[in-house]
A and B are shown apart, each in its own frame.
Chain A
């Protein structure tokens, strides 16, 4: 089972897709061009501070708003290991799975964690913070299939005999 540990950035409730990446930057050519503007309406400095393997912890309704898939892609390109939130908006949720960005729903972790803390995750099992374990629910099978294939593109490539 996959396990990892990372430093936490804390964001609030209703972090919408326009905060994750404003429309102004959506016509830039690549996600790598865009990622410097991630979260810029809320915290313009944040994209520059995030390091490989960091974890975002947020409140409810993370990723609400637009269907822009750049939102999870950018978070993935910033090498965020996973996003843990009280709840996720549904388009964002599917887009994340399809891009192999790991999302974990947890109802209370957000209330206890502080920015700069470290948390450990055992996939489909538990999160550990300050020595306390928080149980997490496993993802449904059909989603694990996409994740196990390495995202939807790879799943389709397999279907089309490219792999």
Chain B
């Protein structure tokens, strides 16, 4: 009997000849990521547990992004604790204002194909885009990894998602993952791995795949994995022959198989206030909006800014509507400046902010109030996520978001 992608990664890591779903194994962690919101708690627990030394400081990445820039006086305390922790443990992988953690983890090569990575954030699933098994954990568990370098996991079952064909014009990987979450339900993949394959997947850029692995958690998944290909190797700076082992066997066993024709996908939104409440954009009639947000670890990459800029170039954001653009990282912001996308966006009336989590995590950069409605490219539309519980959040692709900003209501790109 063959193995799925996740089983292959766990087998390689644990040097076991075979593993099966349900088995409890202890893995050696290749990298961990801690962000600013939780560093005080991680540092506390680490000490409380009686650890004094990191198991391997090169494998630890500390990133400030949720509180960058600060918006409240207490925010700085997290930096002070993080700075002290970094100094005490001689952390070299430390980013204070370079962008969103998940973007930096793959962009800077901290998470590579075949690695096992954990982070103190649920969207740590993102690195599955390069065939890395990555998942979110709490700060207590993070503290124990920092001390031991190990973590127990139950080998998850795998759901195979196969999409063949060519996506229609303007349909993006965001529309695909939203539809999948709608089909699965918000708990449809709980503790399972989504393994993506098919010719439509092969066509996607690494950035587009990132959007999908990022949102795998919204169906409850432990990971969303893509087998590496030439594009992955170029992005992650690894050799194809070194990652050739990283693919599912033909006879691997899946708990469920979902097969789609790419041509059947349409532009969709996740409607308030559940990520799995999916509706075709064409069915959303005359839904007026107050704000549009393009950014986040889900859709703040160069191709997203490019798509938005192409739609907004020479046009204006509708009167009384705000457009907030937050690039996912400093290097993306820089590239978008050089490519002229930022000029197009600002000329159209966008506010471009420093890369960070900002609005998506509900702490700053565009919070809304009672009765307001936002179209956003990020990953969650939970009640109260971007302000009060009377804010309506529609999740969509950057193209839908950009077109809606011009129209002042939700429309197809």
**Chain A contacts to B: CB under 8 angstroms:** 14, 16-19, 22-24, 26-29, 40-42, 60-61, 64-70, 72, 87, 89-91, 94-95, 98-99, 140, 142, 151-153, 155-157, 159-162
B78 vs chain A, min Cβ distance (A):
7
Q: How many B residues touch A, CB cutoff 8 Å?
A: 51
Interface SS of chain B: helix, strand, loop or mixed? loop
A22 touches B51 (CB 8 A): no
A70 cross-chain contacts in B, Cβ below 8 A: 41
Q: Is B408 an interface residue (CB 8 A)?
A: no
B48 touches A64 (CB 8 A): no
**Chain B contacts to A: CB under 8 angstroms:** 24, 37-38, 41, 45, 48-51, 66-67, 72, 74-75, 77-78, 119-122, 124, 135-141, 143-144, 147-148, 152, 154, 186-187, 190-191, 220, 222, 274, 361-363, 380, 382-385, 388-389
Q: Given known contacts A89-B190, A142-B24, is B138 in contact with A69 (CB within 8 Å)?
A: yes
B363 touches A23 (CB 8 A): yes
A29 touches B77 (CB 8 A): yes
A46 vs chain B, min Cβ distance (A):
13
B72 cross-chain contacts in A, Cβ below 8 A: 27
B49 touches A160 (CB 8 A): yes
A38 vs chain B, min Cβ distance (A):
12
A7 vs chain B, min Cβ distance (A):
25
C-alpha gap A152/B380 in the complex (Å): 29
Q: Given known contacts A29-B77, A160-B49, is B363 in contact with A18 (CB within 8 Å)?
A: no
A65 cross-chain contacts in B, Cβ below 8 A: 122, 380, 382
C-alpha gap A29/B119 in the complex (Å): 21
A27 touches B138 (CB 8 A): no
C-alpha gap A16/B139 in the complex (Å): 18
A67 touches B121 (CB 8 A): yes
B370 vs chain A, min Cβ distance (A):
12
B53 vs chain A, min Cβ distance (A):
11
- Which of B45, B187, B190, B362 is close to A23, meaning CB atoms less than 8 Å apart? B362
A26 touches B77 (CB 8 A): no
- Mind listing 13 A-B residue pairs with CB under 8 Å? A16-B380, A23-B361, A27-B37, A28-B74, A29-B74, A41-B383, A61-B187, A67-B121, A67-B122, A67-B136, A69-B138, A142-B24, A152-B141
Q: Given known contacts A16-B382, A23-B362, A29-B74, is B190 in contact with A160 (CB within 8 Å)?
A: no
C-alpha gap A16/B273 in the complex (Å): 11
B138 touches A67 (CB 8 A): yes
C-alpha gap A29/B141 in the complex (Å): 20
A153 touches B141 (CB 8 A): no
B138 touches A24 (CB 8 A): no
C-alpha gap A151/B111 in the complex (Å): 29
Cross-chain pair count, CB within 8 angstroms: 139
B154 vs chain A, min Cβ distance (A):
8
B143 cross-chain contacts in A, Cβ below 8 A: 153, 156
C-alpha gap A91/B153 in the complex (Å): 12
A160 cross-chain contacts in B, Cβ below 8 A: 49-51, 147
A142 touches B152 (CB 8 A): yes
A24 cross-chain contacts in B, Cβ below 8 A: 362-363
Please provide the 3 A-B residue pairs with the shortest distance between their CB atoms, ordered closest to farther.
Answer: A41-B384, A160-B50, A69-B138
A26 touches B37 (CB 8 A): yes
C-alpha gap A158/B5 in the complex (Å): 35
A68 cross-chain contacts in B, Cβ below 8 A: 37-38, 138
Q: Given known contacts A19-B383, A24-B363, A66-B121, is B140 in contact with A61 (CB within 8 Å)?
A: no
A139 vs chain B, min Cβ distance (A):
12
A59 vs chain B, min Cβ distance (A):
10
B139 touches A69 (CB 8 A): yes
A27 touches B49 (CB 8 A): no
C-alpha gap A159/B152 in the complex (Å): 15
For A19, A64, A155, the residue with the greatest tally of chain B CB atoms inside 10 Å of its CB is A64
A110 vs chain B, min Cβ distance (A):
14
CB-nearest residue of chain A relative to B387?
A24
- Which of A41, A69, A151 is close to B41, meaning CB atoms less than 8 Å apart? A69
Q: Given known contacts A67-B122, A157-B49, A160-B51, is B78 in contact with A89 (CB within 8 Å)?
A: no
A22 cross-chain contacts in B, Cβ below 8 A: 362, 384
A89 touches B187 (CB 8 A): yes
C-alpha gap A112/B382 in the complex (Å): 26
- Which of B45, B152, B186, B222 is close to A64, meaning CB atoms less than 8 Å apart? B186
C-alpha gap A157/B38 in the complex (Å): 21
- Which of A14, A91, A156 is close to B186, meaning CB atoms less than 8 Å apart? A14
C-alpha gap A151/B49 in the complex (Å): 11
C-alpha gap A157/B148 in the complex (Å): 12
A91 touches B190 (CB 8 A): no
A155 cross-chain contacts in B, Cβ below 8 A: 144
A91 touches B48 (CB 8 A): no
